Amino acid sequence: MGTGPRTVGLSRAGLALACAALKRVLLTAAVALGVVPGSASAALPGFRGGLITPGRSVAGVSIGQSTAKAIKSWGGNKTCQPLTGLTQCVWTSNNGKFGAVTLNFHDGKVDYIGLQLSNDSRGNALFRGPLMKLKTKKGIGMHSDDAQLVKAYGSQVGTGASGPTLGSGSHTTTFSTSAGRYVSIIIGPPQTF
């Protein structure tokens, strides 16, 4: 037996999925901490309505929608324009107290929609601002909890690495909590750690 490190075979596709998942986890953490990596950033968008459709869309922006149409829907600015090769737009509240919204793009289409509330200086979620108005038809949104999600969606609720989920594959909606209440809602590939 050798004394070197054990290696585990991983296909290129598996490695690419793992790297993409790690990037999303790190981005979500960076947004939550208020440290946004080099990407397009602007004040919170002007949402078209307040509907979250699990696995599909948030307030007029859908998974699979073109970069240009998504940015037009929520309003871009100098730093968030539908440029070729744009991979991400982040909208952060101007006062830092109302959270952040992230869109990731792949091949010119939306493949990730992230909503994240801000925290106070002690790390407690700030349940206020425009993100609080975004809800599913069944009333699930920020500040909802797992019991409300199960009551609303029953057996459709799954278990993910960072919280309960609805949907599957690239159309998964993941709900993450702080002190038992939802502070992050992500639509896109399942979040893995």
Q: Each residue of 79-138: pLDDT tens digit?
A: 676 666 768 888 888 888 899 999 998 888 999 999 999 999 999 999 999 999 999 999
Backbone angles phi, psi at 9, to 5 degrees: -65, 135
Over residues 20-65, the pLDDT tens digits come to 444 454 444 444 444 443 344 458 888 888 999 999 999 999 999 9
Q: Which residue has the tokens 């010119």?
A: 108
For residue 16, how far is the Cα from the chain centroid?
Answer: 19
3-state secondary structure of 62: strand
Nearest to 52 by CA among 117, 132, 155, 120: 132
pTM metric for this prediction: 0.76
